[in-house]
Amino acid sequence: MKRLRSRSPARKTINQSINPFTNKQYSNKYRKLREEREKLPIFDALPQFDKMFNKNQVVILQGETGSGKTTQIPQYILEKGYAKGKLVACTQPRRVAAMSVAKRVAEEMDVELGQQVGYSIRFEECAGPNTLLKYLTDGMLLREAMTDPTLDKYGVIILDEAHERTLSTDILFGLLKEVLQKRKDLKVVVMSATLDTEKFLGYFKNAPLLTVPGRLYPVELFYTEFPEEDYLWATVRTVMQIHAFEEPGDILVFLTGEEEIESTCDSIRKEAARYKDNVGKLSVIPLYSSLPPAMQQKIFEPAPEVNSNGIPGRKCILSTNIAETSLTIDGIVFVIDSGLSKQKCYNPRMRVESLLVSPISRASAKQRAGRAGRTRPGKCYRLYTEKSYKRELVESTAPEILRSNLANVVLQLKILGIENLVDFDFIDPPSPETMMRALETLHYLRALDDEGELTEEGRLMSEFPLDPELSKLLIISPKYSCGEEMLNLVAMLTSPNPFLRPRDHEDAADKAKSKFVNKDGDHITLINAYQGFENEGRQPYWCSKNFLNPRTMRGAAEIRDQLVVKMNKLDIPIISNKHNISENIRKCIISGFFMQVVHKEKANFYMTLKEKQHVALHPSTGVMRPDWAVYHEYVLTSKKYIRIVSSINPEWLIEIAPQYFDLSHFPDTNGKKLLQEIIDGKNTQK
């Protein structure tokens, strides 16, 4: 530990041949990386950073993506011993970024990942007693604050990618502002890409701003002449044109999500296969958050070598907006921007939060274009018109806190002892209506009592890294003797859709799925699929045979294992009894999801009870148009759908969630009438 307190400048440690963190000789790879690092724009700004950091408790650092903020600043602070024997934390909004950056920095420091440098993301901790620098998602740091409100084990906390303004980062801002008052030894660095830094300056008064000049080459912009009807096809066409006619340089494409990224990758590969050796080799690589780390690492591999005609190869990466600021890929010269991304939105009146494919902001469009000019002048092809860029895109996207359901956040703040939410110093305060909804939801879930105080159940809910509705299912499962089933279900609901349905194999896929389908509901279908996987010893081969995504299933198994550990720690027994299991499972689900219930008002015409939203069953559902149903997800596409649906008996609603089904607050519907009859019937029986 002593060496950490040494005040010798970083450069001095470097000239030594012994790594002070491991007491081993530096490797050759270390030296090579060291040379690369010294070329980063941030390197020259380090002395200035040093001065500011020493004079202030909070420093704001702004620099172009790729300038070296995320990889270099935490290392520098560590090497200088500025955490005074405590840990350095660096938050990331995205899991992928936390993992990949930790890996990179471990390499740069010539240490083993998980030792001095580690990471921590939901359901996965790769850090230990030797860890001095931890990259973690902002959500994980918030979780840590719940057990350690002053974050005492950290000497320096770096809030990275602050411009993203994720929900958790925003809460951390408010929290850290309070902690900084109590802990004068704590230092905070706020790091952001070149966007909207004014906001942070206004929030952390007195904090100095350091701007790292970026090295951006000019990027030539191209727009489409007319709006594109099919941006995926336009993507394929543009990639092929660049590949066939443009000079060497890699391509980065921004799309919205896993499915379209995978299918577009396929289309591009098919097209590329038709070319002969008169064009170079093309390697097509997907990048999205649910991709396993080894696959994500592929984006850093060099482009394919020259072909037999001496023409150099090219890398083409198709990414979600992960690659917009959080991951820097070197060698990109061409960017193709669909102008879209998946964004969360929340309507408190309807109580629905959904992910919607929406136009990006102009700030995002500029960031995306900037990715093309990192190493030399580049080109950006925007798959939309210049007119729509100017007139239809908003300047910047509203922060996530203004677009989210806040039930989880409010629960966390309560645990953190923040009683009066109105006084919390939000950088952008959420609307009172959204706050009210959150409190109301927690009250209905019995996480808060009538006085708004946390209940024992609320405390338990907050222990799980899940939305309170899902935690509730696990907590209440002993009552319905379906502990194993709920673990299966929650693990599956926390993972992406596991059912594969490849083009040209739809029938085989549907047949495979039918083995798991349960007519009572899609929740049980998911439970069955998971159970099958478990029964077969978690074999990837079995998954592929059954059209289940092996990666998703393995991920779900890992999540399930973690949840079991948590259940044991909290002394929640895992009880399962096959008697009446289907009914018990569905009753248990209602305990958490009574607010997500629909009634069939007319043939195939469903309506939510309180908000009177018309919805349709998603085509993927396996239930046969039940009169009443509980659903997991509300999907807004061209139509309003509910996905993952199970049939229920309306009497269960009255039995399980009387606190919610106080019908005087419900609008008139046939559903309400029927529920009233059930209540009246019960009263006369008494």
Binding interface with ligand CDP (CB under 6 A): 40, 63, 65-72, 100-101, 104, 300, 328, 330
Q: Does the CA dihedral 270-272-273-275 come out positive or negative?
A: positive
For the record, the structure tokens of 313 come out as 């190869």
**Which of 268, 291 has the CB closer to ligand CDP?**
291
Distances in whole angstroms, Cα of residue 444 to Cα of each of 75, 210, 305, 447 = 46, 47, 61, 8
- Which of ligand CDP, Mg ion, none does residue 370 bind to, with CB < 5 to 8 Å depending on kind? none
The backbone torsions φ and ψ at residue 604, rounded to the nearest 5 degrees and listed phi first, read 45, 35
- Which of Mg ion, ligand CDP, none does residue 43 bind to, with CB < 5 to 8 Å depending on kind? none
Shortest separation between residue 458's beta carbon and Mg ion, angstroms: 36
DSSP E strand stretches across 199-313: 209-212, 219-223, 250-254, 282-287
For the record, the structure tokens of 232 come out as 């995926």
- Residues 592, 594, 595: CA angle, nearest 5 degrees: 105
Shortest separation between residue 123's beta carbon and ligand CDP, angstroms: 21
- Which of Mg ion, ligand CDP, none does residue 498 bind to, with CB < 5 to 8 Å depending on kind? none
Sheet with 124-126, side-by-side order of all strands: 124-126, 117-121, 133-137, 87-92, 154-159, 187-192, 58-63, 209-212
Shortest separation between residue 217's beta carbon and ligand CDP, angstroms: 14
The backbone torsions φ and ψ at residue 431, rounded to the nearest 5 degrees and listed phi first, read -70, 145
Contact 266, 235 (CB under 8 A): no
Question: What pairing do the DSSP bridges indicate for beta strands 378-382 and 219-223?
Answer: parallel
* Nearest position to Mg ion, beta carbon: 70
- Which of Mg ion, ligand CDP, none does residue 71 bind to, with CB < 5 to 8 Å depending on kind? ligand CDP
Contacts to Mg ion by CB under 5 A: 69-70
**Which of 323, 416 has the CB closer to ligand CDP?**
323
Shortest separation between residue 333's beta carbon and ligand CDP, angstroms: 14
Distances in whole angstroms, Cα of residue 79 to Cα of each of 26, 82, 88, 157, 263 = 15, 8, 11, 15, 45
Shortest separation between residue 162's beta carbon and ligand CDP, angstroms: 12
Give bridge partners of residue 429 from the DSSP assignment.
Answer: none
**DSSP string of 217-244?**
--EEEEE-SS--S-HHHHHHHHHHHHHH
**Which of 76, 82 has the CB closer to ligand CDP?**
76
Query: Tokens 């230990």 map to which residue?
Result: 128
DSSP state of 293: H
Amino acid at 209: L
Nearest-angstrom CA–CA distance, 199 and 163: 9
**Which of 323, 461 has the CB closer to Mg ion?**
323
Q: To 10 degrees, the CA torsion angle through 388, 389, 391, 393?
A: 110
**Which of 71, 404 has the CB closer to ligand CDP?**
71
Shortest separation between residue 368's beta carbon and ligand CDP, angstroms: 14
Shortest separation between residue 377's beta carbon and ligand CDP, angstroms: 18
- Which of ligand CDP, Mg ion, none does residue 93 bind to, with CB < 5 to 8 Å depending on kind? none
- Which of Mg ion, ligand CDP, none does residue 267 bind to, with CB < 5 to 8 Å depending on kind? none
Shortest separation between residue 301's beta carbon and Mg ion, angstroms: 20
Helix (H) / strand (E) containing 336: strand 332-337
Nearest-angstrom CA–CA distance, 553 and 495: 8
**Which of 166, 405 has the CB closer to ligand CDP?**
166
- Which of ligand CDP, Mg ion, none does residue 361 bind to, with CB < 5 to 8 Å depending on kind? none
- Which of Mg ion, ligand CDP, none does residue 139 bind to, with CB < 5 to 8 Å depending on kind? none
**Which of 14, 564 has the CB closer to ligand CDP?**
14
Query: Tokens 């997800």 map to which residue?
Result: 633
Q: To 10 degrees, the CA torsion angle through 51, 52, 55, 57?
A: -140
Question: Residue 671: helix, strand or coil by DSSP?
Answer: helix
Contact 631, 644 (CB under 8 A): yes
**Which of 43, 666 has the CB closer to ligand CDP?**
43
Instruction: Tell how many helices (H) and how many strands (E) occur in the chain.
Output: 27, 23
- Which of ligand CDP, Mg ion, none does residue 101 bind to, with CB < 5 to 8 Å depending on kind? ligand CDP
**Which of 76, 606 has the CB closer to ligand CDP?**
76
**Which of 200, 464 has the CB closer to Mg ion?**
200
Shortest separation between residue 268's beta carbon and ligand CDP, angstroms: 23
Nearest alpha-carbon partner for 96 in 263, 404, 319, 316: 319
Q: How many CA atoms lie within 13 A of 410 on its CB side?
A: 26
Q: To 10 degrees, the CA torsion angle through 624, 630, 636, 638?
A: 20
**Which of 67, 582 has the CB closer to ligand CDP?**
67
- Which of ligand CDP, Mg ion, none does residue 657 bind to, with CB < 5 to 8 Å depending on kind? none
Shortest separation between residue 356's beta carbon and ligand CDP, angstroms: 27
**Which of 161, 170 has the CB closer to Mg ion?**
161
Q: Characterize 278-287 residue by residue with b for buried, 16 or more Cβ atoms within 10 angstroms of its Cβ, and e for exposed.
A: ebbbbbbbbb
- Which residues, other chains included, contact 517 with Cβ-Cβ below 8 Å and sequence gap of 6+? 525, 528, 622
Nearest-angstrom CA–CA distance, 659 and 661: 6
**Which of 42, 588 has the CB closer to Mg ion?**
42
Shortest separation between residue 94's beta carbon and ligand CDP, angstroms: 12
**Which of 98, 242 has the CB closer to ligand CDP?**
98
- Which of Mg ion, ligand CDP, none does residue 100 bind to, with CB < 5 to 8 Å depending on kind? ligand CDP
- Which of Mg ion, ligand CDP, none does residue 328 bind to, with CB < 5 to 8 Å depending on kind? ligand CDP
Distances in whole angstroms, Cα of residue 205 to Cα of each of 53, 60, 191, 202 = 15, 11, 16, 6
Q: To 10 degrees, the CA torsion angle through 95, 96, 102, 104?
A: -170
- Which of Mg ion, ligand CDP, none does residue 320 bind to, with CB < 5 to 8 Å depending on kind? none
Shortest separation between residue 142's beta carbon and ligand CDP, angstroms: 21
10 Å CB burial of residue 79 (0-12, 13-18, 19+) is: buried
- Which of ligand CDP, Mg ion, none does residue 40 bind to, with CB < 5 to 8 Å depending on kind? ligand CDP
Shortest separation between residue 656's beta carbon and ligand CDP, angstroms: 48
Shortest separation between residue 215's beta carbon and Mg ion, angstroms: 15
- Which of Mg ion, ligand CDP, none does residue 341 bind to, with CB < 5 to 8 Å depending on kind? none
Shortest separation between residue 328's beta carbon and Mg ion, angstroms: 7
**Which of 119, 634 has the CB closer to ligand CDP?**
119
- Which of ligand CDP, Mg ion, none does residue 330 bind to, with CB < 5 to 8 Å depending on kind? ligand CDP
Contact 416, 175 (CB under 8 A): yes
Shortest separation between residue 212's beta carbon and ligand CDP, angstroms: 8
**Which of 326, 646 has the CB closer to Mg ion?**
326
